């Protein structure tokens, strides 16, 4: 299996099409490659099938003309929650203070419905990750890596216990804690639980 971004983008498009099969009003995914290499600050997870379902909720909300978020897209309201429920996603009983109902997870029956698609996408994501994180002595990493700076690398979401979050290059956070000005606790990168 090739691990180039166009191949992963194609796998994302196939997975999206499978979601559309069950939810025909879901619009087409305009640019699947835009999801590669970025995490969602709203849903707090790396790219996965569960993340696609989260994005599909937003797609259906847009198709219906429903405003499902506020606070520049960070707070997911009860309208988001209603559509997430239709899509087979569970949620906490109470909203998070800063992100609302953004943290949704697949129900067992949803996971079963999409099992083959989930497995196929997981293989593509794993292969893509292995290809893009391989670090050999012959790899050119640029001057930033040679001088120990972050080099403006890929930023991920780091959170603190009070619910605030920042985008940070992991190597910068590894150098020393970044403290939250609101609660005084360090920001941390949450562990991502893979799809079983």
| 3-class secondary structure, 139 | coil
pLDDT single digits (tens) 55-85: 999 999 999 999 998 887 789 999 999 999 9
CA atoms within 13 A on the CB side of 177: 10
Q: Quick one: pLDDT at residue 151?
A: 43
Contacts of 31 (CB under 8 A, 6+ apart): none
Contacts of 125 (CB under 8 A, 6+ apart): 8, 11, 47, 48
Query: In whole numbers, what is the pLDDT of the chain averaged over residues?
Result: 78
Q: Quick one: pLDDT at residue 37?
A: 55
Q: Quick one: pLDDT at residue 26?
A: 93
Which of 181, 180, 169, 153 lies closest to 189, judged by CA?
Answer: 169
- pTM of this prediction exceeds 0.85: no
CA angle 26, 30, 33 (to 5 degrees): 120
Q: Quick one: pLDDT at residue 101?
A: 87
Q: Which two tokens stand for residue 95?
A: 């909203």
Q: Quick one: pLDDT at residue 78?
A: 92
pLDDT < 70 stretches in the chain: 1-6, 33-34, 36-46, 132-155, 173, 191-196
> For the chain, what percent of residues have pLDDT higher than 90?
33
């Amino acid at each position: 299996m090739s691990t180039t971004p166009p191949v992963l983008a194609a796998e994302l498009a196939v997975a999206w099409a499978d979601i559309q099969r069950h939810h025909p009003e879901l619009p087409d995914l305009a640019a699947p490659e835009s999801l590669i290499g970025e995490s969602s600050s709203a849903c707090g997870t790396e790219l996965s099938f569960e993340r696609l379902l989260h994005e599909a909720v937003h797609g259906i909300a847009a198709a219906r003309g429903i405003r499902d978020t506020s606070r520049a897209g960070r707070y997911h309201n009860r309208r988001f929650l209603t559509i997430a429920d239709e899509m087979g996603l569970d949620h906490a009983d109470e909203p998070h203070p800063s992100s609302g109902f953004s943290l949704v997870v697949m129900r067992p029956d949803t996971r079963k419905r999409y099992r083959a698609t989930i497995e196929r996408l997981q293989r593509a994501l794993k292969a893509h990750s292995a290809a893009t994180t391989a670090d050999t002595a012959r790899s050119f990493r640029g001057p930033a890596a040679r001088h120990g700076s972050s080099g403006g690398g890929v930023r991920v979401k780091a959170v603190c216990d009070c619910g605030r979050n920042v985008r940070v290059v992991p190597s910068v956070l590894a150098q020393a804690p970044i403290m939250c000005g609101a609660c005084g606790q360090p920001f941390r990168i949450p562990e991502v639980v893979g799809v079983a």
